[in-house]
Amino acid sequence: MPPSTALFWPPAMSEENAERGERIAKFLSRAGVASRRDAEVMIEAGRVRMNNAAVSHPAVFVKKGDMVLVDGKPVGEPERTRLFRYHKPEGLVTTHKDPEGRPTVFEKLPPGLPRLISVGRLDLTSEGLLLLTNDGALSRQLELPATGWLRRYRVRVHGGVSQDKIKRLADGLVVERVKYGPIEAAIDSVQRSNTWLSMSLREGKNREIRRVMEALELPVTRLIRVAYGPFQLGTLPRGAAEEVNGKILREQVPGLAK
C-alpha cells in the first residue's frame, strides 16, 4: 500500500487511560453497537444505562467490570476487530431500521454473523461490495477521504458518453452547489442505447455517481461497486458474506490491534 493511503490505528490505552476507562460512545462503537455519532444519539434518547443508572451524556467512562445496557440488553466487551465482504443485492437499504419498512441489509445477512455495521453505504438500487465490521471505530476510519482508498464501480448509463463528458468527470463537477472531486471514467462497452463505464472515486459523497451523471444527462440504470480500497467483490455470490482474513486485514490497516 502506498504511504499516502496508510491508516494509523489509535495506539493502545496508556495505564492512566486504562484506569479511567474509555468514553461510553467509543465503547459502544468498538462493540459494534453503533457509530460514535449514533451512540451519542442513543445516549441522548435515554436508551443507554450503566451499572443500573441512566447515562445522560457521552463523557461517561466505562471501566472493566462495568455493566452497560442498550435498550435493556447487555453489551459485552468488544471482540477482536472483524471485517466482512458482503455482496449487496439491489432492493435493500443500508441501515438497521428503515422508517418506510423497506428490507434492510442487516435483515438479509446470512445467519451466524456478529452484530455488524457498514463501512459507508450503498443506496437502495445500488449493488455490489459492501464492507461490514463489528468495530465502529474501524468503520469511521475506512470511510474518511483521508485514507485515499479508491472506490471502483461498474456503471450502466442510458445514452452515449462523449470524451468531453469523460473529461468533465476527471476535472470534477459542481452540481446544485455541491462540489464533487475528480472521477476517473472509461468506456467499457456500448449496448444499443446503453453504455457501460468503469468509474473510480476517492471521496464518495452521498449518491455521488448518480448525481454527477444525471447532471451530464446520463441517467444511471445500474450501479455495481466492485472494489473498496484493497478489498474486491470478486466472485462473491449475491447475498453472501465472507470474512476478511485477520492477517490480511492487519496488513491493510497498519496499527490495527491483533
Could you give the residue numbers annotated as active site?
123
248: CB partners within 8 A, 6+ apart: none
- Rounded to whole angstroms, the Cα distance separating 209 from 204 reads 8
Backbone φ, ψ for residue 140 (5° rounding): -65, -40
Dihedral sign (CA 158, 163, 169, 173): negative
- Rounded to whole angstroms, the Cα distance separating 17 from 24 reads 13
The order of strands in the sheet holding 68-70 is 53-54, 48-50, 68-70, 73-74
- Rounded to whole angstroms, the Cα distance separating 185 from 33 reads 37
C-alpha cell at 217: 444527462
Query: Which own/partner pairs from 93-98 qualify as long-range (CB within 8 Å, at least 24 positions apart)?
Result: 93/123, 93/124, 94/118, 94/121, 94/122, 94/123, 94/130, 95/121
C-alpha cell at 2: 502506498
